[in-house]
Amino acid sequence: MSDIITAAMVVIGDEILSGRTKDRNIGHLAEMLTAVGIDLREVRIVSDDQDAIVEAVNALRARNSYVFTTGGIGPTHDDITADAISAAFGLPCEFDEKADALLGEHYAKREIEYTSARRRMARMPQGAKHIPNPVSVAPGFNIGNVYVMAGVPAIFQAMLDNVIPQLKTGTRLLSATVPCKHGEGTIGEALGEIQAAHPETIIGSYPKYQDGSFWTEIVIRSRDQAKMEAAAAAVEEMLKKL
């Protein structure tokens, strides 16, 4: 189908892989993309290592409509995302005049020294477009189908709000949820038969474990409302018989 828009995400940061910081951006991006009908197909969390970033970004941008990255665009030595994305595209990483001016002005206004560390945040691949940062000015950037954003959740979310309206969006995947008091083992076989009979839906079952017993959330997804409703009705019918 031509209207399926896919995306991948690359989370950049040693602090996530060490467990020191818990990621809060994956779930937010996933929800936002689902809301506008873009399928998030894969997420990779990689370390602050240029080769690792280049490999992930190049693999994912080749097979998805969009790639979103978070992390590594601050002013310190371990912020290497601008260099890595430039390397991935084979472009020079340069000081962007407009970003440099924005940052210089921002710090001058607040009487804070515009250090060479802060000036690093004006670097991006040649020809990249800014992603505005209403929180702390230093812009993210977009090059090709890759959108490079901050890792701090408040800044990431503000940047993403500026990116979403620019994206080509798909037909939204609709979903219906049917709660089920039985564990997956009780319904698994019948649910498999319903899935086979309703090929244009995606039926997922998500086990919930609470106080020593299982219950299940059954989610029916489709881009076609009537087909989703027919599958949901079949699930409800099946549950009534138990």
Q: Token digits for 54?
A: 């280049």
Among 12, 40, 128, 167, binds a copy of itself (CB under 8 A): 40
Exactly one of 33, 82, 148, 234 binds a copy of itself (CB under 8 A); that residue is: 33
Q: Contact with a copy of itself (CB under 8 A): which of 78, 161, 224, 237?
A: 78
Of 37-45, 89-97, 222-230, 234-242, which part binds a copy of itself (CB under 8 A)?
A: 37-45
Nearest to 239 by CA among 163, 198, 188: 188
Report d(CA 32, CA 216) in Å as an integer.
25
Question: 96, 22, 86, 10: which is closest to 48 by C-alpha?
Answer: 10
User: What distance in Å separates the CA atoms of residue 113 and residue 104, rounded to the nearest whole number?
Assistant: 9
Per CB under 8 A, 208 contacts a copy of itself: yes
CA distance 27 to 59: 22
241: contact with a copy of itself by CB under 8 A: no
Binding map of a copy of itself across residues 131-170, x = CB under 8 A, - = no contact: ----xx---------------x-xx---------------
CB of 127 to a copy of itself, least distance (A): 25
In the set 2, 18, 62, 109, which binds a copy of itself (CB under 8 A)? 18
Would you count residue 21 as binding a copy of itself (CB under 8 A)? yes
Instruction: Extract the tokens encoding 101.
Output: 């001016």
CB of residue 226 to a copy of itself, shortest distance in Å: 21
238 binds a copy of itself (CB under 8 A): no
Instruction: Please name which of 219, 215, 210, 214 lies closest in space to residue 191, comparing C-alpha atoms.
Output: 219
- Report residue 221 as tokens: 């997804």
- Given the complex with a copy of itself, which of 168 and 208 has the nearer CB atom? 208
Cα dihedral 46, 123, 6, 42, rounded to 10, equals: 0
Minimum separation from the CB atom of position 208 to a copy of itself (A): 8
